[in-house]
Amino acid sequence: MEWSIHSNGEHLEIREPEDNDKVWIKLEDGIGIHFYPDGTPVMSIKTSQITAYKSIIPSSDNSIDLGISSYGWRNAHISGTLYVGKQPVIKYGTGNTPNVFYLYDKVFADFMLPPFSYSLPQSVKCYGAFTDYLIYADRKFTVTSDPAPTSGSLSNMFDGLYHTFADWNNVSTYPNGQVVIEIDLGFALWWNNAFAIAFSHGYHARYVKIEAYCDRDGDGVYTWDVLYETSNNNSDFVVVPRFWWDRVRKWRITLADPEKEDKIRIDSIHAWSPNSAVFKHASPFLRKGGEDYMYGDFLPYKNATINIGSNTLKWANIYGVNIYGDIIYEGNTALSDKYAPKSHTHTRDEITDFWNTPFWDNIPDKPSEYPPEAHTHTRSEITDFWDTPFWDNIPDKPSEYPPEAHTHDASDIVSGTLSLDRIPLIPYTKLDTVNSPSDGQVLSYSATDDKLKWVDIGDGGVGRVLIGADETEVTTTKTSYTTMKQLKLYKDSDFNWSKLIVIVRIKNSYSTKTTYIAVYIDGTNYGSTSHTGDTYTVKKIEIDISGLSNGVHNVEIKMKVSGGKGYLEFTEVWAEP
């Protein structure tokens, strides 16, 4: 093959002489390069764009990329069908529906929450087994957060943009240190679904709980079910695998324990189904032919602006439980003008001649007499209430009238016995005694005088005196004397005690073992006793303390055992002159 190069004004052409000088390549000055391998344009390379006039096909199947991992195409514009392999994925509508995308049933694409927002095309059609469903994808949902984001907005989590966020700062200061987000779909989402949260730049929460408000068994009762919960999340992307629970109305997300800077930042929240059949159950739909069922509300785009049918295209029949509207037509005639009104009620004001005469005569079934209804009167309304006879007419009078609770002065009491707590303290000057007291003396009865007499302590006036008592039960298993109870003993010229009497009640846990009790004064053993057996026995120890010096002395009750466990319960310490 031979080639020739020709100049055509400002253009340069490469031709094939053997084929009637057919132009293969044309170079236009300042414009670009054009390729004509079959005599017609195939591709043009210009300064601003590359135009293909034929299909661009890779040289071998599944081995040639369009773009690379670091450089992708900004936009891919199609007017026909998009294929993955040999499988059609999306077909762009033509004719009367230029803005409608057709999704083929075999597409296992992830449709996320953002597709339920206003940013999608008005409608989506599913092709395949679910032929020709028209599905409105503009369902609105409600999102709340407690507390609200400190920066950004909740809508940023659903706009599909990776560079917009919702931030919560100082999370540890929130109630329970938590952020709670709730998504209310406003309808029940069916089929098997999955859920995901995308945090941003490491600002994820270590504690994540995701719940679904769902009706698992179809009984109409919705409850919160925990789908996922962890306290050890270390990822910016949390995915809950798909779950097979039907009728999901709400999702709730609880976040706490931020990874860094006490901040949580959410880039996006997603929910999707693994196949396109979810749209059949997730959104209202229409079908062109045959019959099918609606699984949610069929709502107009705006209130009071959208018609069902038109003047030229009408529905054959409309079946419903309740039909609401200002005017309902049959043909061009309002039903309110064509048919009698349904059962209804009126108020009296709406009946223009309600009170016109005759009125009383028209009332049916009037009684001949009008006895009063049950009622009451006050005394003032009874004109002869206090007239005589009065007392004799009172029924059920008591025969006696016991007095109400009251008190008396002491002078009113002339007999009986007063309780001790009512007897006042009597000064010693009021006592009928033989003599007057001196400092340190006490009262004693004098048989000679048959009266009370003031006497010195130890002079026959004071006998045995209790100086200490204790009923607390104490135990020990020790075989050497151990202090169990102790008290103080005071001795001087006014209290010149000569004898100490100690009463104890002791036993052992074994009938063959012995319990020993000793009385120590200032660390010296002054006397002891013992008992062998497992039943309580009272023992007495008398101690001569005449040789003790005046002052305060420490008295200790000590116990030991030959074996088993010793018990000390009742203890009394007496002193006498």
Q: How does pLDDT run across 481-497, given as a tens digit for each residue?
A: 999 998 888 887 766 67
Claim to verify: residue 168 and residue 29 sit in the same structural domain: no
Closest to 91 in 3D by CA, of 57, 115, 126: 126
Work out the number of other CB atoms within 10 angstroms of the CB of residue 97: 15
Confidence check: pLDDT of 103 > 90 = no
Closest to 121 in 3D by CA, of 91, 141, 164, 146: 91
Whether 240 contacts 208, CB under 8 Å: no
The DSSP code sequence of 413-454 is: --SS---GGGSPP--GGGS-BSS---TT-EEEEETTTTEEEE
Claim to verify: residue 156 and residue 87 sit in the same structural domain: yes
138 — pLDDT class (breaks 50, 70, 90): very low
Work out the number of other CB atoms within 10 angstroms of the CB of residue 246: 17
532 — pLDDT class (breaks 50, 70, 90): very high
Out of 226-240, 386-400, 452-466, which region has the weakest mean confidence (pLDDT)?
452-466
| 390: exposed, middle or buried (Cβ count in 10 Å: 0-12, 13-18, 19+) | exposed
Q: Where are the alpha helices (DSSP H) in 154-293?
A: 278-282
CA atoms within 13 A on the CB side of 163: 0
Claim to verify: residue 157 and residue 270 sit in the same structural domain: yes
What stretches of 120-204 adopt beta strand conformation (E)?
123-127, 133-136, 142-146, 151-152, 166-169, 178-189, 193-199
How, if at all, do strands 101-104 and 123-127 pair? parallel
At residue 429, the pLDDT reads 79
Claim to verify: residue 506 and residue 485 sit in the same structural domain: yes
- Residue 391 domain-assigned (yes or no): no
At residue 174, the pLDDT reads 94
At residue 18, the 3 state secondary structure works out as helix
At residue 118, the pLDDT reads 30
Radius of gyration of the chain (CA): 55
Q: Give me the CATH number covering residue 159.
A: 2.60.120.260
84 — pLDDT class (breaks 50, 70, 90): low
Claim to verify: residue 161 and residue 216 sit in the same structural domain: yes
Looking up tokens 């999306």 gives 90
Closest to 273 in 3D by CA, of 313, 252, 245, 305: 245
What is the amino acid identity at position 165? F
Claim to verify: residue 114 and residue 36 sit in the same structural domain: no
480 — pLDDT class (breaks 50, 70, 90): very high
114 — pLDDT class (breaks 50, 70, 90): very low
Q: What are phi and psi of 381, to 5 degrees?
A: -85, -10
Instruction: Please give the tally of structural domains in the chain.
Output: 4
Calpha distance 179→208 (Å, rounded): 10
At residue 565, the pLDDT reads 96
- Residue 123 domain-assigned (yes or no): yes
Work out the number of other CB atoms within 10 angstroms of the CB of residue 272: 17
> Which residue has better confidence, 25 or 552?
552
Instruction: Please compute the mean of the pLDDT values over residues 411-419 and round it to a whole number.
Output: 78
Calpha distance 104→89 (Å, rounded): 6
- Residue 271 domain-assigned (yes or no): yes
Distances from the Cα of 409 to the Cα of 94, 169, 406, 412, 413, angstroms:
113, 76, 11, 6, 7
At residue 261, the pLDDT reads 93
Confidence check: pLDDT of 262 > 70 = yes
Claim to verify: residue 201 and residue 244 sit in the same structural domain: yes
> Which residue has better confidence, 53 or 285?
53
Which of 73-82, 88-97, 219-228, 559-568 has the largest mean confidence? 559-568
Calpha distance 349→342 (Å, rounded): 20
Whether 31 contacts 49, CB under 8 Å: no
- Residue 503 domain-assigned (yes or no): yes
Strand order in the sheet with 193-199: 151-152, 166-169, 263-272, 193-199, 237-243
Out of 165-169, 211-215, 411-415, which region has the weakest mean confidence (pLDDT)?
411-415
The three-point CA angle 16-22-28 to 5° equals: 100
> Which residue has better confidence, 64 or 283?
64
Distance between first and last Cα of the chain: 154
Out of 105-119, 221-235, 453-467, 476-490, which region has the weakest mean confidence (pLDDT)?
105-119
Out of 157-161, 199-203, 209-213, 461-465, which region has the weakest mean confidence (pLDDT)?
461-465
At residue 189, the pLDDT reads 63
Give Cα 443 to chain centroid, integer Å: 75
> Which residue has better confidence, 456 or 238?
238
273 — pLDDT class (breaks 50, 70, 90): low
Calpha distance 90→83 (Å, rounded): 7
Calpha distance 209→223 (Å, rounded): 16
Claim to verify: residue 181 and residue 255 sit in the same structural domain: yes
Work out the number of other CB atoms within 10 angstroms of the CB of residue 145: 17
Which of 255-259, 375-379, 416-420 has the largest mean confidence? 255-259
Whether 229 contacts 211, CB under 8 Å: no
Calpha distance 457→183 (Å, rounded): 93
| 432: exposed, middle or buried (Cβ count in 10 Å: 0-12, 13-18, 19+) | exposed
Q: Which residues neighbour 48 within 8 Å (Cβ) at sequence distance 6 or greater?
A: none
How, if at all, do strands 142-146 and 329-330 pair? unpaired
Confidence check: pLDDT of 316 > 80 = no
The three-point CA angle 136-140-143 to 5° equals: 155
Calpha distance 6→510 (Å, rounded): 134
Instruction: Please compute the mean of the pLDDT values over residues 188-192 and round it to a whole number.
Output: 57
pTM of this structure: 0.32
Instruction: Please compute the mean of the pLDDT values over residues 533-549 and round it to a whole number.
Output: 92
- Residue 64 domain-assigned (yes or no): no
What is the amino acid identity at position 223? T
Average pLDDT, the chain: 75
Claim to verify: residue 10 and residue 108 sit in the same structural domain: no
Q: Which residues neighbour 194 within 8 Å (Cβ) at sequence distance 6 or greater?
A: 239, 240, 241, 242, 243, 271, 272, 273, 274
- Residue 263 domain-assigned (yes or no): yes
The three-point CA angle 548-554-560 to 5° equals: 110
Claim to verify: residue 456 and residue 476 sit in the same structural domain: no
Whether 156 contacts 165, CB under 8 Å: yes
| Cα dihedral 129, 130, 132, 137 sign | negative
Claim to verify: residue 13 and residue 145 sit in the same structural domain: no
Which of 27-31, 105-109, 273-277 has the largest mean confidence? 27-31
- Residue 365 domain-assigned (yes or no): no
Claim to verify: residue 124 and residue 201 sit in the same structural domain: yes
Confidence check: pLDDT of 559 > 90 = yes
> Which residue has better confidence, 169 or 158?
169
- Residue 334 domain-assigned (yes or no): no
349 — pLDDT class (breaks 50, 70, 90): confident
Closest to 557 in 3D by CA, of 505, 517, 499: 517
Confidence check: pLDDT of 98 > 60 = no
Work out the number of other CB atoms within 10 angstroms of the CB of residue 201: 11
Calpha distance 551→491 (Å, rounded): 5
At residue 95, the pLDDT reads 43
At residue 24, the pLDDT reads 74
Calpha distance 47→49 (Å, rounded): 6
What is the amino acid identity at position 90? I
Quote the domain boundaries for residue 513: 465-576
Instruction: Please compute the mean of the pLDDT values over residues 363-386 and round it to a whole number.
Output: 86
Whether 502 contacts 482, CB under 8 Å: no
β-bridge mates for residue 153, sequence order = none
